[in-house]
Amino acid sequence: MASLPIRRRIAGPLFVALMTAGLTAGRADAQAAAKKDYTPADADFMQMMIMHHAQAVVMSDWAATHGARPDVLVLCQRIALSQRDEITLMQHWLEARGLSAPDPLRMNTPHAGPVVDSSPMHMPGMDMGPDPMLMDGMLTPAQMRALDAARGVAFDRLYLTGMIKHHEGALKMVAALFATPGGGQQPELSGYAADIDAGQRAEIGRMQAMLQTLPTSTSPTR
Amino acid sequence: MTRRPHLLTRRAVQALWTLALTAAPLALATTARAQSDTTDPRAHLKAGLYDAGVAAKGMELVAHRNKPDVFHPNDPGGLTYANSDLAFGGHYVYQGNFSGIQVWDVADPANPTLASVTQCFTEQGDVSVYGHLLFVSAENTGSRLDCGAQGVDQTVSKERMIGVRIFDVADPTHPKQVADVETCRGSHTHTVVPDPADKGVVYVYVSGLAPVRPRAEMASCEVGDLGDPNSALFRIEVIRVPLAHPEQAKIVSSARIFGNLTAPPTHGLAYADTANGAGRRGRQFTPRVPAGTSAADSATIVRLFNGWIEARRGDPKTEAALRDSLDKLGMKMPEPMPRGLGGPSQCHDITVYPAVGLAGGACSGYGLLLDIRNPEHPKRIADVADSNFAFWHSATFSNDGSKVLFSDEWGGGTQAKCRATDPKDWGADAIFSISHGKLIHRGYYKMPAAQTVNENCVAHNGSLVPVPGRDIMVQAWYQGGVSVFDFTDAAHPKEIAYFDRGPNDSTKLVLGGFWSGYWYNGYIYGSEIARGLDVFKLTPTADLTQNEIDAANLVHYDLLNVQDQPKIVWPAAFPVARAYLDQLERDHGLSADRIGAIRDALASAEGMMGAKRSAALNKLAAGLAGDAKSASDAWRVKLLTACVRGMAKKA
């Protein structure tokens, strides 16, 4: 699975301008704070995490129609709701700084029917955009199709296995952000990244325990 | 099954089968989950930073102060100048801010004056005060030794200061920075714990969520798994502070309270959901949930199951046979948990209640109960998880120590989680009773009014309101306002007062609202992230009478750090007796005639002096002792009797 520490092309001219300005954290200057209180790694993190979250939402939304076990369904409902809200939060953070905010689920534009990927990657359920790449822990299009084809216990197993990996990828992205010079110091981002780390770590624990209660074959009680 | 499986007795197999089945599909027939009230007056308030609409019940605003200019009061949004938590000492309120500290003089609570403001970038600026010392949490990796706001550009830097800053506030108009105690993961929150044996010493429990610092920056900071005794993860740091020599403050122990949390409890579903699904269980498989298990809690079942397996791990032969046996049952041998992954590596916040020797740790996916009788070495005695909880945030004990309330900061506090569509048991409080060292889930509380998508809202910081005879709490819900509720009946908590303003902005989510709402000496102080400081007083309603408010106002603290929970003791006094009587009237605990007669007797005694009053009160107490035998609320009549006896002694 491709692991990309920095995504280069997204922010465009503004991004380049900020890079050349040698910008890091500029909180001291209150007037300018709104414009230059982040590092390139901060912006990359938010843009990449939107794509990462979008896939988690697509996976979780399938639970209702794919025969997920009730406790798995509740977990999926909360992951979908939480991560949709977080996509909105990240989009607002980027927009407030004049940065481009990906909208892979078309949450901000009216559309009919399922979202179709405009990229050659053909990722189910989301638009990977003009610069498609898989972040840490993301499922490949083939893995996504396998999950979409699964039902009942098979869905539960693929979902939990995939989402644990997906969450572990998010933890790696958080760690990578904090390992960059000056990364993750903008206060909203600092709190948000710490929250991803704490929240998804706890969810990994829940999913591991759920995985352990799945029968190996389809049980007569289902 | 044709032959007896290896290692498993028939009884064990049956038990396992039962466990496995009940652990799995307690069906949720897509129940409609309870949702917030869109008809509440708080649901549709006009937006505005300083001219927002207001809805209030049972409390009124007596003073408001904007943030001082250095914290940009007219430029809300973002967290750089966000107000955070509160601490209280004498007639001063210490208010944290992501960029410093404010000290308010509240000698006249209706007229707070700014005693000082100190600029120091310190996200998130959680504050505690003890004696002449003020402790401030610094977690943001850009926090600097010199308090500057420019951040730290290098990944390894001597300029970074994450941990606990210590100020001398002997003169609150001139706080002086006297020490910094650095930690490996900074300090998100901290808790002051006075040494029971030495008045000159306090301990500070540090909860830090920042990534572990590189060893090149702080040599002792190792990243290791749960089994590594040197790991900076999976521990809370305990700082010992000699009050006379804060410069000697240092970390004296690292309590490893996260070990052996067996398989993380999943609590697959909420109680209501599992009960709903109970009817769909196969008839031959009677669930055997052990007595004392929290209602239909699949966490316990999974834990039992995994614990049973774990106990048989280690010897490869045993494991292979067990795997084989399970396979025949159509079950999979659980993989051993990677040590620590999935479990908490740190707490978010810890509330200590020294009077009962306990602490409540809100730690990632768990609520922990700790024994703190030896404050230098806290020990875990119980743990609980709940699938409705995303992130365990903080804890509050009932005054008698029989209950603990944990809050869930779903979404981290920066998101709208009180929309009409958000479930009422997500981002809420969960109330547990403490029984023989175990935590038993009883109920949930969530501020009931629906809020807009432009209001960040979720359970946050609160404290007890000292009304005798009831468990009442005031709690901040960010832009959901402040909510006062009664959780005496833990299964049916009920709101009794609130204050809420409309959103900061009508077009987008501009961060703000109440970080904390705490009762201190007759007033409720609210730390408003964007708008400043608010002071409230409670006003009488059918749910809270003037006598009950007067009785609460008899309680006086010289000092209050809410996470170091004080034991409330009420004086034997007329307002307390009348508060109990009002409660007996409200819950029909005694006949109306009798309540009227007791009120008259109290009024008559109040008009007397000395021995005469004493005799009248003793006579009343004797009558009450008789009432207790037949009253439907005998418990409260006994409280009243003891109070009247105490009053007789004092007279």
DSSP one-letter code for B279: G
Question: What is the phi/psi pair of residue B486, to 5°?
Answer: -105, 125
pLDDT at A6: 36
In a domain, B376, yes or no: yes
Question: For B144, which residue in chain A has the nearest alpha carbon?
Answer: A185
Residue B371 CA to residue B359 CA, distance in Å, equals 6
Quick: pLDDT tens for A93-147. Answer: 999 999 999 999 999 988 888 899 999 999 999 999 998 999 999 999 999 999 9
**B340: chain A residues, CB-CB within 8 Å:** none
**Residue B259: predicted pLDDT:** 75
Specify the pLDDT at position A151. Answer: 96
Residue B273 domain-assigned (yes or no): yes
One domain for residues B222 and B164: yes
- The nearest alpha carbon in chain A to B331 belongs to A215
Tell me if B144 is assigned to some domain: yes
B interface test, pick of A23, A24, A27 with most B CB neighbours within 10 Å: A27
d(CA B476, CA B488): 19
In angstroms, the separation between the Cα of residue A204 and the nearest Cα of chain B is 5
Nearest residue, CB atoms, B415 vs list A73, A85, A222: A85
Distance from CA of A218 to the nearest CA of B (A): 8
Which residue in B139, B589, B576, B427 sits closest to A191, CA to CA? B139
In angstroms, the separation between the Cα of residue B103 and the nearest Cα of chain A is: 22
Residue B509 shares a structural domain with residue B594: no
Handedness of CA B483, B128, B364, A176 (dihedral sign): positive
**Is A70 in contact with B28 (Cβ distance < 8 A)?**
yes
Q: Determine the residue among A36, A155, A213 to mutate to test chain B binding: the one whose Cβ has the most chain B Cβ atoms within 10 Å.
A: A213
Using a CB-CB distance cutoff of 8 angstroms, which residues of chain A are in contact with residue B79?
A: 187-188, 191
User: CB-based contact (8 Å) between A31 and chain B?
Assistant: no
Same domain, B214 and B295: no
Min CA distance, A196 vs chain B (Å)? 9
| Residue in chain B nearest A198 by alpha carbon | B364
B416 contact residues in A (CB cutoff 8 A)? 85
DSSP letter at B564 equals B
Q: Are residues B518 and B451 in the same domain?
A: yes
- Contact A30/B72, CB-based, under 8 Å? yes
Chain B, 484-543: which have a CB under 8 Å from a chain A CB?
508-509, 511
CA distance A128 to chain B (A): 25
Predicted pLDDT of residue A17 = 35
Of B151, B264, B273, the CB nearest to A185: B151
B330 vs A: CB within 8 A: yes
Q: How far away is chain A from the Cα of B540, in angstroms, using its nearest Cα? A: 39
Q: Looking at the structure, tell me whether residues B499 and B376 fall in a common domain.
A: yes
A28 interface with B at CB cutoff 8 Å: yes
Residue of B nearest to A64 (CA): B30
Judge if B446 and B298 occupy the same domain. Answer: no
Give the whole-number percent of chain A exceeding pLDDT 70: 81
A with B: how many residue pairs have Cβ under 8 Å apart?
A: 204
CB of B55 closer than 8 Å to CB of B45:
yes
Of B280, B306, B328, which residue constitutes the final position of a domain?
A: B328
Give the closest-approach CA distance of B411 to chain A in angstroms: 7
Our measurement of the distance from residue A60's CA atom to the centroid of its chain's CA atoms, rounded to an integer in Å, reads 12
- Nearest CB among A208, A217, A222 relative to B337 is that of A208
* Max Cα–Cα distance, chain A, nearest Å: 66
Q: What is the total residue count of chain B?
A: 651
Q: At what angle do helices B592-606 and B574-586 cross, to 10 degrees?
A: 170
Residues B418 and B544 in one domain: yes
Which of B331, B346, B424, B511 is the best substitution to test chain A (most A C-beta atoms within 10 A)?
B331
Among the candidates B505, B529, B560, a domain finishes at B560
Please name the member of A85, A192, A198 whose beta carbon is closest to the beta carbon of B364.
Answer: A198
- Spatial neighbors of A196 by CB under 8 A, at least 6 apart, are A49, A86, A170, A171, A174
Over residues A159-205, the pLDDT tens digits come to 999 999 999 999 999 999 999 999 999 999 999 998 999 889 888 88
**A25 near B CB under 8 A:** yes
State whether A206 and B343 contact (CB < 8 Å): no
**What sign for the dihedral angle of Cα A72, A48, B338, A82?**
negative
- Please report the pLDDT score of residue B437 as a whole number: 85
Mutating which of A42, A190, A192 best tests the B interface, going by the most B Cβ atoms within 10 A? A190
**Residue B335 resides in a domain:** no
**Do B626 and B583 share a structural domain?**
yes
Task: Note the helical H segments in B247-393.
Answer: 271-277, 298-310, 316-328
Q: Are residues B308 and B220 in the same domain?
A: no
Q: Are B23 and B302 in contact (CB under 8 A)?
A: yes
Q: Is residue B288 part of a domain?
A: yes
B81-90 pLDDT, tens digit each: 999 999 999 9
Within chain B, which residues score under 50 in pLDDT? 1-31, 262-304, 337-340
B265 vs A: CB within 8 A: yes
d(CA B342, CA B323): 24
The answer to whether A204 contacts chain B (CB < 8 Å) is: yes
Tokens for B499? 């204050």
Name the residue facing A188 among B79, B121, B416 (closest C-beta): B79
Residue B303 and residue B213 share a domain: no
CA distance, residue A187 to nearest chain B CA (Å): 6
* pTM for the model: 0.85
Assess whether B394 and B468 both reside in one domain.
yes
Which residue is it, tokens 């609590």?
B267
In this structure, what token pair is assigned to residue B480? 């959901």
Q: What is the CATH number of the domain that holds B234?
A: 2.130.10.10
Q: Does B122 touch chain A (CB under 8 A)?
A: no
Residue at B567 is within a domain: no
Chain A residue numbers touching B26 (CB-CB < 8 A): 70-71
Q: Are strands B92-97 and B83-89 parallel, antiparallel or unpaired?
A: antiparallel
Q: Set out the domains of chain A in order of their start, with CATH numbers.
A: 39-212 (1.20.1260.10)
- B442 in a domain, yes or no? yes
Contact across the interface for A24 and B511, Cβ inside 8 Å: no
Number of domains in chain B: 3
> In terms of residue numbers, what domain contains B625?
574-650
Taking the Cβ of residue B457 and every Cβ of chain A, the question of whether any pair is shorter than 8 Å is answered with no
Give the up-direction half-sphere exposure of residue B149: CA atoms within 13 A in the CB hemisphere: 21
Model confidence pLDDT, tens digit, residues B241-254: 999 999 999 999 98
Confidence check on the interface: ipTM exceeds 0.85, yes or no: no
Residue B16, min C-alpha distance to chain A (Å) = 11
**B406 and chain A: CB distance < 8 Å anywhere?**
no
- Decide if B149 and A27 are in contact by the 8 Å CB cutoff: yes
CB within 8 Å of B274: residues ≥ 6 apart: B26, B28, B268, B295, B296, B297, B298
CB contact under 8 A, A70 and B121: no
Taking the Cβ of residue A33 and every Cβ of chain B, the question of whether any pair is shorter than 8 Å is answered with: yes
Q: How confident is the model at residue A22 (pLDDT cuts 50, 70, 90)?
A: very low
Record: contact A195-B391, CB cut-off 8 A? yes
- What confidence score (pLDDT) does residue A123 get? 97
Residues B134 and B220 in one domain: yes
User: What pLDDT is stored for residue B199 in this prediction?
Assistant: 95
Q: Of the candidates B519, B534, B560, which is a domain's last residue?
A: B560
Tell if the CB–CB gap between A213 and B124 is shorter than 8 Å.
no
Nearest CA in chain B to A81: B422
